[in-house]
Chains A and B, each alone.
Chain A
Amino acid sequence: DQQVKQNSPSLSVQEGRISILNCDYTNSMFDYFLWYKKYPAEGPTFLISISSIKDKNEDGRFTVFLNKSAKHLSLHIVPSQPGDSAVYFCAALRAAGNKLTFGGGTRVLVKP
């Protein structure tokens, strides 16, 4: 049972435009939602997170939106830069047990 899903395996966007990555989840018990960025042959790097009691969190070019009623979150990157090209994983955390569950990932390509 896949509790965290990213339905778009890839996304291509022009430099300077907005990248929107989507994520859906099924378990209403998650406490935090996180986005990680991963380059090949490296470990995931934390990008931004949001508590389940909030609906928006912003950090520079990155904004995460949470819609609890729809069990949906999204990551907006604006403006997109070529260095943003990577695989982005949505993840959900249950504080009890410190268990982090990842979605399948979205490969983003930002074209110069």
Chain B
Amino acid sequence: DTEVTQTPKHLVMGMTNKKSLKCEQHMGHRAMYWYKQKAKKPPELMFVYSYEKLSINESVPSRFSPECPNSSLLNLHLHALQPEDSALYLCASSQILASNTGELFFGEGSRLTVL
């Protein structure tokens, strides 16, 4: 199984809503990531979890709250978002130490629209 599964694929929420994005992998990877991608822009790193602990937070606003309940799951909790937060949110996983490829495996993304 070389898949990273993200749910939901599409999410529409109001600015006062609380929602969550979910990500799952069963490749035994101990590093998991959240990236944000706006239209016609490259993916931008938000968070990195290593061994279920937050190791990198790229100065992301607190209205985005990541959680890694176990080595296979990664969540992104959303609260009081702004319309400019509308984007494709990508989850990825990898081995902890870069392998001979340095490869990250990406999910298909969750398309978020904030009204």
Contacts and interface: CB of A to CB of B under 8 A. Distances in A.
B9 to A, nearest CB: 9
Interface size class of A (residues with CB under 8 A): 20 to 34
A101 B41 CA distance: 12
Label chain A's interface by main secondary structure.
Answer: strand
A102 B58 CA distance: 14
A43 B37 CA distance: 10
Interface stretch (B11-19, B59-67, B78-86, B91-99): B91-99
B104 interface: yes
B53 interface: no
Contacts of A45: 106
A89 B42 contact: yes
Interface stretch (A68-76, A78-86, A90-98): A90-98
A89 B42 CA distance: 7
B21 interface: no
Contacts of A46: 101, 103-105
Nearest to B105: A46
Which of A42, A45, A89 has the largest count of B CB atoms less than 10 A from its CB? A42
B103 A34 contact: yes
A100 B104 contact: yes
A43 B108 contact: yes
A98 B4 CA distance: 17
